[in-house]
Structure 1
Amino acid sequence: MSRYVAMGSSMAAGPGIRPRATGAPRGCGRSAHNYPHLVAQRLNLDLVDVTCSGATTAHVLNDRQRGAPPQIDALDGSETLVTITIGGNDVGYIPLLMAAALLGSARRLVPGRRGTRDRRVSRLLPVIGSLLDPAAREQALDHSGESLRRVGAAVRRRAPQARVVFVDYLTVLPPAGTSAAPLADTDAELGRYVATRLEELTAAAAAATGCMIVRAGAASREHHAWSANPWTAGATWPLPRRPAPFHPNAAGMAAVADLIVQSTR
């Protein structure tokens, strides 16, 4: 049976989608119905799933996470397929959306005018202020392109026989002009910008390193979290809910699996 290694963050791991995968490090939120498991079943592959919530490009290449070695250590050179969904935590994408949702809820609790409320909340919760700072997100994006290219190049070296596929993030937010409540319009627009740039950087990294790209974001524009047929969850409260807020649901994982299977034909 051919070997398949799946690498990435929570957008590949599938936190909250039941059932949980057995043997995963505690806290990784790895689902037995995430897209790596579905692809392995469809293509009859021997899956090694090292996806983990919170993973960054550093966790793919160098850093241990939740007691597990860097994800790239799972490669032994015999792989025929490697998938990579990474980069969002480097640029604070999902944390940005979580922060915006928390701020939207806090606005209803803190008295005063909107601008004054936002400043008060940002002072009380400086991490939220940083995540919603466009300059800070731009700086993070400026560094992430090279990090993604390093991932692609390193995986190509370690798995020279494999089809290496970057899989970008499913679309979470609705299009401009459509409410993403409880997110403020300005926060939602920042989220859209970060998502668009991350898609561009992922595609560029794939092209620069001889990897394939599966454009899950483009395929899911009409299946955002506020749509009638969502592939991701919106701002569901209280936490935790299933699936995790701003993450793929079971339908989204199945859709991404379909895209990957199609890309192998």
Structure 2
Amino acid sequence: MIASGSRYVALGSSFAAGPGISPIVHPPAGRSGSNYAHLVAAELGLELTDVTYSGATTAHVLDTPQDDAPPQLDAVTPDTALVTITVGGNDLEYVGTFLRGSFLNTIAKPAVLLGRRVANRIRARVSYLKDDAAYQAVADSLTTVVERTQERAPNARILLVDYLTLVGPATRPRLDVPLNEEQLPSVAMMADGLADAFAKAAAATGADLIAASTASKDHAIGAPEPWTTGFTMLPPNLGGFVPYHPNAAGMHAVANLITERVRTS
């Protein structure tokens, strides 16, 4: 158990930052005051430093500034007691691929009026396949992130928190998931490769793995109680939301997984 008042540093990309979840406390980062880090800190009474940033890659955590923000690891100090890490999806363009495919499929639907060949050319502009080397590169980078964190904070508890599932058993092509039956499995395969990269990094470093991907299989898009959003072309200021990202329920679910792990082991 981590003592109340201990220092907690949250590292990661948008699945940790929580864009679109009110309140947004740092607009450039899309960082929510109700993301899982804030919920965990409040529940456990921890002193939070949240440097999560939408669009971050593992390089932005390790050594590359993002916008005006320094590398995220700079926030980890020797007195840090808890670190959570959710990053790597942008290395693979995981959500970006899902978004581009959905956008182009939405455009391609009316383009059928110009001919099926035109519509198919629009859809074909997105590749959903990654080779094994791409997934291994993410696993290697996550391993390096954990190792560098261990060097900076030798006594910290480090949790690798993987990504909530977007495409699950209940996910079907529809308005809020405008991919076809051939494209959806490819997105699911990318998610499986990303989850495997987290598992490899945890095994290589001894970090704890919070398998949000597994816990959320039955809460993917299309489920009765989804933990992520579907697709929309409407921006939040016009009544839309941030597509293919955790919703408030998803953030609470991940926070519960983390607090339970910290309290029981």
Amino acid at match of 2:220: H
Tell me the residue number matched to 2:195. 199
| Mapping 1:108-257, distance limit 5 Å | 108-111=109-112, 112=114, 114=116, 116-120=118-122, 122=124, 129=125, 131-134=126-129, 136=130, 138-175=132-169, 178-179=172-173, 181-240=177-236, 243-257=241-255
Contact 1:235/1:245 (8 A) holds in 2: yes
Tell me: CA distance 1:114–1:78, structure 2 relative to 1, closer, same or farther (3 Å): farther
User: Could you tell me how far apart the structure 2 residues matched to 1:31 and 1:232 are?
Assistant: 15
How much has 1:158 moved relative to structure 2? 1.1
Query: What's the TM-score, normalizing by structure 1?
Result: 0.90
Q: CA deviation at 1:141?
A: 2.2
Alignment-derived partner of residue 34 in structure 1: 35
1:138 to partner: Cα distance? 4.9
Once the two structures are TM-superposed, the CA of residue 118 in structure 1 deviates from its matched residue by: 2.5
Instruction: String of CA shifts for 1:136-179, please: whole Å, max 9, x gaps.
Output: 56553242121111111111111111100000000111338843
Q: Deviation of residue 209 (structure 1)?
A: 0.9
| Range that drifts further, 180-189 or 164-173 | 180-189
Superposition pairs of residues 48-63 of structure 1, within 5 angstroms: 48-63=49-64
1:109 deviates by 2.5
- Partners of 2:190 and 2:255 in 1: CA distance: 24
If the length of structure 2 is used for normalisation, what is the TM-score?
A: 0.90
Is 1:66 aligned to residue 64 of structure 2?
Answer: no
Where does residue 126 of structure 1 map in the other structure? none
Identical counterparts, % of pairs: 43
1:7 aligns with 2:1: no
- Counting matched residue pairs gives 254
Please report how far the alpha carbon of residue 239 of structure 1 lies from its aligned counterpart in structure 2 after TM superposition: 2.5
**Unpaired segments ≥5 residues, structure 1:** 123-128
Instruction: Determine if contact 2:170/2:221 at 8 Å carries over to the other structure.
Output: no
Query: What CA distance in whole angstroms lies between the structure 2 residues aligned with 1:205 and 1:13?
Result: 21
Secondary structure in structure 2 of the residue aligned to 1:4: strand
Amino acid at match of 1:227: A
Equivalent residue for 2:78? Answer: 77
Asked if the contact 2:166/2:244 (under 8 Å) is kept, the reply is yes
Unaligned runs of 5+ in 2: none
Classify the secondary structure of the residue corresponding to 1:16: coil
- Match for residue 257 of structure 2? 259
Separation in 2 of the partners of 1:202 and 1:50?
20
